[in-house]
Structure 1
Amino acid sequence: MRLSLLCVGLAFAFATSSYSPTITANEMANPIAGSCAEVSCEKEMRQLLRLARGGSGDAAAIVGMAYASGDGLEQNDKEAERYMRIGVRYNSPVAMYILSDWYLNGHIVEQDVEESVRLLDLAIRGEYAPALYKRALQLIRINEPETIAEGVELLEQAADKNLVSAMFALARLKHTGVGVEQDLYGAAELYRQLIMAGHTDSRHHARQISRELAQLDGETDNDEVIARLLEAEGMERISVVGSQMNVHGRLGNLANRLAATGRYDSRSIGSRIRGVSCEDTGTNCGSSRPEAGQSSLNEVLTGVVE
């Protein structure tokens, strides 16, 4: 059984606020070229099921998506909803975000826009980067000074958590001076980090901003900034496990990481592991829009800049 949706970007469980350019965005978007046979992932899925039942909200979210998509577990809408609600009950912002999307699109559950908004608010309160980013776009698109300012603030929070789509959107705003004061140095640094993460579109904009900086007179830092951009463009990407990530290993590492906390036995009340992902922005940032009404882990768990 293919795990193309389930296993994409499981690194969200290990994401931190630090930046380490070791995984390209394309690799995050499609870490496996083949498939994960049901028997080979059976142990990991069984462990994730046990952790979910023991109180891990994030494990429950993954199990819920597995049931919803039929990737890793036999497709079952009722079990998908049940485990996603378990994730919400155990305060997982990941589960809140996914279930919010399901309610918005009427996928798995009956459409309920108010409940979708409520769950998205909870995910935002949990500082889940994709939720911050989604609300930021909603506010910015209203195109009023107050909402733009509020949206940019949320966008900055999501970018600080190394959400690729948020970083790119913020870089473009800083570069163009739309919605915020123009900040070429800030935009250049974001482009540099994105280039090192394998974000292809940032290369074009980095070259453009280098030309703009070169034309500025009397700025002593310009040469250094341009040199850092050129260095980032010239760096050879370091792949993980050759050109692919090992899905079997990712599932196992995730399950082991959650189990190692010792909090997911029968007495556990759950916890939150904040993840980052790349929602569809129309850019080549390692994200993809799910089919209509389907919130896939491509959207929820990809685009990490570790």
Structure 2
Amino acid sequence: MKVFLSTSLLVIGLLALPVKAIAQNTDSQADRVCMDTDCSKELRRLIRLARGGSGDAAAFVAMAYATGDGLEQNTEQAIRYLRMGVRQRNPMAVNLMSDWLRNGFMVEQDLTEAARLLEQAVKLNYAPAQYNKALQLLQSEDPEQLPEAVNLLEQATSQKLSSAMLLLAQLKQHGVGVEQDLPGAAELYKRLVLSGQHNAKPYLHEVTSQLAADSEHSALVAELREVENIEIIRVSGQQFQTSNMLEGLVKRLSATGQFDTRSVGSRIRGVSCEQSGSNCASIRPERGASSLNEVLSGGQ
């Protein structure tokens, strides 16, 4: 039981900060993409692309209607467009619908259907879904589920999902579910810090101190301490950057030529951080992207 208690404490600790941040932002307009920038042109084009068969566009439009970001908040339209994306088997849309059903947001709560859609999104190799599924397995306190949970976190980490990287690093650092691997944990923390994830700095400092106790790791410790002292400076404002990405998304989807009225479906599998055109090093949806800002800024 000791192993599972440790796992549960790690998961609860890691989720505490993101949940608090989300709760604080619920009443704030600061994270909106379209608050001070007119996105109507891009969103109208996304609506047309969604009707033409783009699952990505359908998911974006659903989020805009659900949050009132760029479009007037409309529950019926949000559900309508998200279902379009689900029918296209779009990973982002499938995962988002699973989240809505699990939390009873916009739709009536249905845990069975939420679980089915989550499994589908995992099979579509969608990193946020892999992370969400891993959390469920870790919280189940079933020893037979640990290997699958770790494997899912590794898959999501390979796609640079920051929340998965952070949790996997914690498991490696403390030897929970996997053999303890301090250098491996340090590498993950380092990547997070260099990508601007300041919440990883305390963990990097902690694992660096652990490694410093062994002279064998002196070179690595020196490298990690240099990283600790790096200050990440972001030149452009987030709102300006995300608005440009929204325009870029529309152009990319339009350029495929797949989504006019004769289109029968989308082969595009979601817009990752690397595809967005931003200079980012990790995808950032802590618990699954639920807004335009999260997706466009790297929040998938």
TM-score range, shorter chain: 0.7 to 0.9
Match of 2:110 in 1: 112
Tell me if structure 2 keeps the 8 A contact 1:162–1:276.
Answer: no
C-alpha spacing 1:126/1:31, structure 2 compared with 1 (3 Å): farther
Q: CA deviation at 1:272?
A: 3.1
Distance 2:296 2:137 in 1: 23
- Is 1:270 the counterpart of 2:266? The answer is yes
Taking structure 2 as the reference length, the TM-score comes to 0.78
Tell me if structure 2 keeps the 8 A contact 1:139–1:147.
Answer: yes
SS at match of 1:204: helix
Match of 2:174 in 1: 176
Distance 2:143 2:293 in 1: 29
C-alpha spacing 1:58/1:173, structure 2 compared with 1 (3 Å): same
C-alpha spacing 1:31/1:197, structure 2 compared with 1 (3 Å): farther
Distance 1:305 1:235 in 2: 23
Tell me if structure 2 keeps the 8 A contact 1:31–1:246.
Answer: no
C-alpha spacing 1:180/1:305, structure 2 compared with 1 (3 Å): farther
C-alpha spacing 1:35/1:69, structure 2 compared with 1 (3 Å): closer
Q: Percent identity?
A: 45
Distance 2:210 2:60 in 1: 45
* Counterpart mapping for 1:245-264 below 5 A: 245-264=240-259
Distance 1:35 1:128 in 2: 23
Q: CA deviation at 1:105?
A: 2.2
Taking structure 1 as the reference length, the TM-score comes to 0.77
Distance 2:133 2:109 in 1: 19
Distance 1:229 1:31 in 2: 37
* Counterpart mapping for 1:157-172 below 5 A: 157-172=155-170
C-alpha spacing 1:73/1:38, structure 2 compared with 1 (3 Å): farther
Q: Which amino acid aligns with 1:116?
A: A
CA RMSD of aligned residues (A): 3.0
Distance 1:136 1:120 in 2: 11
Match of 1:147 in 2: 145
* Counterpart mapping for 1:47-58 below 5 A: 47-58=45-56
Distance 1:275 1:179 in 2: 31
Deviations 1:230-280 (A, max 9, x none): 232233324242565434312111111211222212232112333569xxx
* Counterpart mapping for 1:193-212 below 5 A: 193-212=191-210
Distance 1:156 1:190 in 2: 11
* Counterpart mapping for 1:192-231 below 5 A: 192-217=190-215, 219=216, 222-231=217-226
Match of 1:36 in 2: 34
Tell me if structure 2 keeps the 8 A contact 1:61–1:95.
Answer: yes
C-alpha spacing 1:274/1:41, structure 2 compared with 1 (3 Å): closer
Q: Which amino acid aligns with 2:93?
A: A
Distance 1:123 1:289 in 2: 14
- Is 1:296 the counterpart of 2:280? The answer is no
Tell me if structure 2 keeps the 8 A contact 1:57–1:91.
Answer: yes
Q: Which has the higher contact order (CA 8 A, sep 6+)?
A: 1
SS at match of 1:246: helix
Q: Which amino acid aligns with 1:154?
A: L
Deviations 1:67-96 (A, max 9, x none): 122221122222111110110111211100
Give the count of matched residue pairs: 264
Distance 2:57 2:82 in 1: 10
**Unmatched tracts of structure 2, length 5 or more:** 1-24, 274-282
Match of 1:187 in 2: 185
Match of 2:4 in 1: none
Tell me if structure 1 keeps the 8 A contact 2:242–2:296.
Answer: no
* Counterpart mapping for 1:117-128 below 5 A: 117-128=115-126
Q: Which amino acid aligns with 2:270?
A: R
Q: Which amino acid aligns with 2:267?
A: S
Q: Which amino acid aligns with 1:273?
A: R
Distance 1:134 1:196 in 2: 24
C-alpha spacing 1:93/1:300, structure 2 compared with 1 (3 Å): farther
Instruction: Give the number of the structure whose residues are more often helix, by fraction.
Output: 2
Q: Which amino acid aligns with 1:81?
A: I
Distance 2:299 2:51 in 1: 30
